[in-house]
Chain A
Amino acid sequence: MSTAPRQSAAPRVTGARVPDGPTAPPALVEIVDATVVLGGRTVWSGVGATIAPGEFVAILGPNGVGKSTLLKAVLGLVPLARGTVRLLGRPPGQANHDVGYLPQRRSFDASLRIRGLDVVRLGLDGDRWGLPLPGPRSRAAAARVRELVDLVGAGGYAHRPIGQLSGGEQQRLLIAQALARRPRLLMLDEPLDSLDLPNQAGVAALISQICRTEGVAVMIVAHDVNPILSYLDRVIYLGQGGAVSGTPGEVITAATLTRLYGTPIEVLSTSDGRLVVVGQPEAPALHTDRHPEHA
Chain B
Amino acid sequence: MTGTFTWNLLADIRDMWAYDAMVNAFRAGTIVAVLAALVGWFMVLRRQSFAGHTLALVGFPGAAGAVWLGLSVTLGYFTFCLAAALVIAVLRTGGRRGYSEESAVIGTVQAFALATGMLFVSLYKGFLNGTTELLFGAFTGITADQVTVLAGVAVVVLAVLAVIGRPLLFASVDTDVARAHGVPSRVLDTVFLLLLGAAAAEASQITGALLVFALLVLPPATAQLVTARPGRSLAVSVGLAVLVVWVALFVGYYSPYPIGFWVTTTAFGAYALTSVLTGRTRSIPRRAAA
Which residue of A has the minimal Cβ distance to B224?
A113
Using Cβ atoms and an 8 Å threshold, which residues of chain A touch B228?
113-115, 118, 160-161
Flag whether B96 is at the interface (Cβ < 8 A). Answer: yes
- The contact of A119 among B162, B174, B182, B282, by CB within 8 Å, is B174
Using Cβ atoms and an 8 Å threshold, which residues of chain B touch A96?
180-182
Flag whether B69 is at the interface (Cβ < 8 A). Answer: no
- Closest chain B CB from A122 CB (angstroms): 5
Q: Which of B157-208 contact A (CB under 8 A)?
A: 162-167, 169-170, 173-174, 176-183
- Do the beta carbons of B233 and A127 come within 8 Å of each other? no
Q: How far is the CA of A126 from the CA of B177 in the complex (A)?
A: 10
- The contact of B183 among A102, A106, A127, by CB within 8 Å, is A127
Flag whether A177 is at the interface (Cβ < 8 A). Answer: yes
Q: How far is the CA of A276 from the CA of B267 in the complex (A)?
A: 59
Flag whether A130 is at the interface (Cβ < 8 A). Answer: yes
- Closest chain A CB from B94 CB (angstroms): 7
Q: How many A-B residue pairs have CB under 8 A?
A: 88
- Do the beta carbons of B180 and A75 come within 8 Å of each other? yes
Count residues on chain A whose CB falls below 8 Å from chain B CBs.
Answer: 33
- The contact of A111 among B167, B174, B285, by CB within 8 Å, is B285
- Do the beta carbons of A128 and B182 come within 8 Å of each other? no
Flag whether A125 is at the interface (Cβ < 8 A). Answer: yes
Q: How far is the CA of A80 from the CA of B57 in the complex (A)?
A: 46
Q: How far is the CA of A111 from the CA of B47 in the complex (A)?
A: 11
Q: Which of A110-161 contact B (CB under 8 A)?
A: 111-115, 118-119, 122-123, 125-132, 160-161
Q: How far is the CA of A113 from the CA of B230 in the complex (A)?
A: 9
Q: Which of B256-287 contact A (CB under 8 A)?
A: 282, 285
Q: How far is the CA of A177 from the CA of B177 in the complex (A)?
A: 10
Flag whether B126 is at the interface (Cβ < 8 A). Answer: no
When each residue 83-107 of chain A gets 1 if its CB lies under 8 Å from chain B and 0 otherwise, what string results?
0000000000000110101110010
Count residues on chain B whose CB falls below 8 Å from chain A CBs.
Answer: 33
- Do the beta carbons of B173 and A114 come within 8 Å of each other? yes
Which residue of A has the minimal Cβ distance to B44?
A113
Flag whether B118 is at the interface (Cβ < 8 A). Answer: no
Residue among B45, B162, B173, B282 with max Cβ neighbours from chain A (10 Å): B173
Using Cβ atoms and an 8 Å threshold, which residues of chain A touch B170?
122, 126-127
- Do the beta carbons of A122 and B174 come within 8 Å of each other? yes
- Do the beta carbons of B180 and A77 come within 8 Å of each other? yes
Q: Decide: A129 near B164, CB < 8 A? Known: A75-B180, A106-B176, A177-B177.
A: yes
Residue among B174, B182, B230 with max Cβ neighbours from chain A (10 Å): B174
Q: Which of B221-240 contact A (CB under 8 A)?
A: 224-225, 227-230, 233
Q: Decide: A112 near B98, CB < 8 A? Known: A125-B166, A126-B178, A127-B183.
A: no
- Do the beta carbons of B229 and A115 come within 8 Å of each other? yes
- Do the beta carbons of B167 and A113 come within 8 Å of each other? no
- Do the beta carbons of A113 and B181 come within 8 Å of each other? no
Using Cβ atoms and an 8 Å threshold, which residues of chain B touch A111?
282, 285
- Do the beta carbons of A118 and B230 come within 8 Å of each other? yes
- The contact of A127 among B97, B162, B181, by CB within 8 Å, is B181
Q: Decide: A129 near B166, CB < 8 A? Known: A103-B176, A161-B228.
A: yes
Which residue of A has the minimal Cβ distance to B230?
A118
Using Cβ atoms and an 8 Å threshold, which residues of chain B touch A293?
94-98
Between-chain CB contacts (< 8 Å), 19 pairs: A77-B179, A99-B180, A101-B180, A102-B177, A103-B177, A111-B285, A113-B227, A113-B228, A114-B45, A122-B169, A122-B174, A126-B174, A126-B181, A132-B166, A161-B228, A293-B94, A293-B95, A293-B98, A294-B95
Q: Which residues of B contact A (CB under 8 A)?
A: 45, 94-98, 162-167, 169-170, 173-174, 176-183, 224-225, 227-230, 233, 282, 285
Given contacts A113-B228, A123-B177, A130-B166, 20 further A-B pairs with CB under 8 A are A77-B180, A96-B182, A102-B177, A111-B285, A112-B173, A113-B225, A113-B233, A115-B229, A118-B228, A118-B229, A122-B166, A122-B178, A126-B166, A126-B170, A127-B181, A127-B183, A128-B167, A160-B228, A293-B96, A294-B95
